[in-house]
Chain A
Amino acid sequence: MKKVFPLVLLAALAVFPLIGMSSYVMHLVILAIMWSMAGMAWNLLGGYCGQVSFGHAAFFGVGAYSAGIMQIHFQASPWWGMLLGIPAVAIMALCMGLVVLRLRGPYFVLATLAIGEVMRITAENMVGVTQGTLGIMIQRTWVDKQEYYYIILSMAVATFLIVKLLAESRWGYYFVAIREDQDAAESLGINTTLYKTIALTVSAVITGLAGSFYMNYMGYIDPQVVFSLGEISILMIMVVMVGGVATYLGPIVGAAIMVLMAEVFRTLPYVGTAYQTLFGILLIVIIIFLPNGLVGDWPKIKRMFAKGGQS
């Protein structure tokens, strides 16, 4: 059952657009898939390698901006930006890794947070390149959602496979060893800096791709949106925390829940504008009661309900 589930899910997702859902539902599903892709990327670094990053918006934003800049400065299709974004984000991740990967625990958390914010402020101030707070608006390639749907779905499937492949390879075990005890890993001859850099770069590139897709799909970005701490970096963490840290399916479950909840909360009266309150409460509840997320703590949840049924 467990082995077949991803395939069943994939098959269901592949035929999903054919049943003719409204474009609003399609939009939500596309967002959920995009977030699960970003969540899987974060999970590689945060979940397996144990390096909690609060700055993934930096990669997301650079990916999005490389697509946008391609269009406004070179009149090339923004899809080329997706290709350009790969080396751009990779170089950035390598440079960033040089500094931040020497740091551990809380220092790492805050260094990444700082870099995310620095990128946002830089993008706001470098008006010549990024058009500042005005943002970048581009013409979307297709009016229909279906093309975008299959593009993001194939990207997400590729990400899933890459993460699975990496996590089950020798490198994956190195990552987990680093998460559990970096000094012990180092003493066993694992080049911790190298493997942390690998995890960071792969995670960054995937996040950047998700960012480029966002630009292509939404057609509009500005620094407040794509470099946002609350809407991108923290949402990415929440996707993984809610779904399950260091699980394959966790980010998918988390993304589905978060996107749905965001939509539902936004329609509530009064609370609408501040739906993040409820996100915050959700995060607190998850951390206190289900620290390993819905998928990670699934046995615990099942036991809870089984007990409830008996008494």
Chain B
Amino acid sequence: MWSQIEVFMQTFISGVLLGGLYALIGIGMTLILGVMKIINLTHGQVMMVAMYVAFWLFDLYHIDPYVSLFIAPPLIFLLGVGMQKTLINPVLRVESILPHNQVILTVGIGMVLQNLATIFFTSNYRSTPVDYATDAWYLSDYWENAPLELSLSFPWTVSFLLSVAITVALWFFLARTDTGKSIRATAQDGDAARIMGVNVSAMRVITFGLGSALVAAAGCLFMPIYYLFPALGSQFTLIAFVITILGGLGSTMGAIMGGLILGVFESMTATYIGMGWAPVGRFVVFIATLVFLPGGVASLLKRRAVSK
């Protein structure tokens, strides 16, 4: 009986910790989606690039992945700005039969990034063997003869807390600063924002960079607890997208909720059904959301706000 609850609680905790990181990935995607109205299917690949930056910094200069948090995201911000300016912007203007050319374009960019990584870094699995990788806090250390034995992994917790801190900082940026307000205005109505004197095209460029930087930050946070290989990107692109749908398109709050829900759900599928099925669970969530709750969690939040 107790052991059942113990397994459940432990699964729940690791789900929440994972969900915090997922939320960060989801926020980046949802920002880009809200402002640019395009789906960025190269989001995970950008994260993979950031993880390689963190990995090489660790491998060559022994810089801790958490310190790379201040190095990799600015670099990836530049990468994002470059991609937006040189590749995505021209396509937004081109006339074509198919309306989803930008989506296919981002898939192409993702393919290039992933395969360049394979060429340069080979497809070996990499990880950063930090000293604290196996440190953990145990419940029994603090509460003797506790009926349950729960543990909290040190790197997972630090990553989770840092991701919360970044989210709060982002919220502050979007809610309080001038640029942040302009970004939100562009997301709400591009034309109206332009009339109000917002430099919409600059905001789009900044948002793409910012979204990429956020997912790069998530990549650095994942580095101490995860392994790295070039094909990792596509998996995270899908995760980011599921979170975005689950949360509601363009909603930051929704992305946070969506990340947490998905994290817990995946953790539960992995424990109770089997590791191999975790991705299927992810897509079940995705399809179920599209069918039963097309607006995502954000629509629930909104409904409550309206009824108040």
Binding site for B on A (CB under 8 A): 46-47, 50, 52, 54, 99, 102-103, 105-107, 109-111, 113-115, 117-118, 121-122, 124-125, 179, 229-230, 234, 237, 241, 245-246, 270-271, 273-277, 279-281, 283-284, 287-288, 291-292, 296
Report if B301 contacts A (CB, 8 A): no
Q: Is A292 a contact of B97 with CB atoms below 8 Å?
A: yes
Interface string of B89-122 (1 = CB under 8 A from A): 0110011111111011101111110111011000
Question: Chain B: interface residue count, which band?
Answer: 35 or more
9 contacts between A and B (CB under 8 A): A103-B290, A105-B99, A114-B286, A271-B119, A276-B111, A276-B115, A280-B110, A280-B112, A284-B109
Q: Is B100 a contact of A106 with CB atoms below 8 Å?
A: yes
Given known contacts A106-B103, A114-B238, A246-B97, A277 and B280 CB-to-CB distance under 8 angstroms: no
Contacts of B118 in A (CB 8 A): 273-274
Bound-state Cα–Cα, A44 to B228, Å: 39
Bound-state Cα–Cα, A308 to B107, Å: 32
Report if B197 contacts A (CB, 8 A): no
> Which of A107, A234, A246, A271 meets B111, CB within 8 Å?
A234
Q: Is A287 a contact of B286 with CB atoms below 8 Å?
A: no
Report if B277 contacts A (CB, 8 A): yes
Q: Is A99 a contact of B287 with CB atoms below 8 Å?
A: yes
Q: Is B105 a contact of A287 with CB atoms below 8 Å?
A: yes
Q: Is A280 a contact of B97 with CB atoms below 8 Å?
A: no
Bound-state Cα–Cα, A26 to B113, Å: 33
**Known interface pairs A47-B97, A99-B290; 15 further A-B residue pairs with C-beta atoms within 8 A, sorted by A's residue number:** A52-B98, A99-B291, A110-B241, A114-B286, A114-B287, A118-B279, A179-B97, A229-B234, A274-B115, A277-B115, A277-B116, A283-B108, A287-B101, A291-B96, A296-B97
Most buried by B among A103, A107, A110, A179: A110
> Which of B91, B103, B280, B290 meets A121, CB within 8 Å?
B280
Q: Is A279 a contact of B98 with CB atoms below 8 Å?
A: no
Given known contacts A283-B105, A288-B90, A105 and B111 CB-to-CB distance under 8 angstroms: no
Bound-state Cα–Cα, A257 to B188, Å: 43
A183 nearest CB across to chain B (Å): 14
Bound-state Cα–Cα, A270 to B277, Å: 35
Bound-state Cα–Cα, A185 to B115, Å: 41
Near A by CB (< 8 A), chain B positions 232-252 give: 234, 238, 241-242, 245
Q: Is A284 a contact of B238 with CB atoms below 8 Å?
A: no
Near A by CB (< 8 A), chain B positions 171-212 give: none
Contacts of A46 in B (CB 8 A): 98
Most buried by B among A103, A107, A291: A291
At the interface, is chain A mostly helix, strand, loop or mixed?
A: helix
Q: Is A106 a contact of B39 with CB atoms below 8 Å?
A: yes
Report if B227 contacts A (CB, 8 A): no
Report if B56 contacts A (CB, 8 A): no
B49 nearest CB across to chain A (Å): 14
Closest to B98 in A: A245
Q: Is B234 a contact of A118 with CB atoms below 8 Å?
A: no
Closest to B288 in A: A99
Closest to A247 in B: B97
Contacts of A279 in B (CB 8 A): 108, 111
Report if B283 contacts A (CB, 8 A): yes
B21 nearest CB across to chain A (Å): 21
A177 nearest CB across to chain B (Å): 14
Contacts of B283 in A (CB 8 A): 114-115, 117-118
Q: Is B104 a contact of A283 with CB atoms below 8 Å?
A: yes
Given known contacts A110-B245, A234-B111, A277-B119, A287 and B104 CB-to-CB distance under 8 angstroms: yes
Report if B87 contacts A (CB, 8 A): yes
Contacts of B241 in A (CB 8 A): 110
Bound-state Cα–Cα, A111 to B283, Å: 9
Bound-state Cα–Cα, A131 to B104, Å: 33
Contacts of A274 in B (CB 8 A): 115-116, 118-119
Bound-state Cα–Cα, A287 to B100, Å: 10
Bound-state Cα–Cα, A274 to B113, Å: 11
Q: Is A280 a contact of B111 with CB atoms below 8 Å?
A: yes
> Which of A125, A276, A277, A288 meets B94, CB within 8 Å?
A288
Given known contacts A279-B111, A283-B111, A291 and B103 CB-to-CB distance under 8 angstroms: no
Q: Is B98 a contact of A288 with CB atoms below 8 Å?
A: no
Contacts of A122 in B (CB 8 A): 280
Closest to B108 in A: A283
Closest to B291 in A: A99
Most buried by A among B101, B107, B110, B116: B107
Bound-state Cα–Cα, A47 to B101, Å: 12
Contacts of B95 in A (CB 8 A): 291
Q: Is A277 a contact of B111 with CB atoms below 8 Å?
A: yes
Contacts of A54 in B (CB 8 A): 107
A98 nearest CB across to chain B (Å): 9
Contacts of A102 in B (CB 8 A): 291
Closest to B274 in A: A125
A30 nearest CB across to chain B (Å): 25
B4 nearest CB across to chain A (Å): 25
Near A by CB (< 8 A), chain B positions 46-105 give: 87, 90-91, 94-101, 103-105
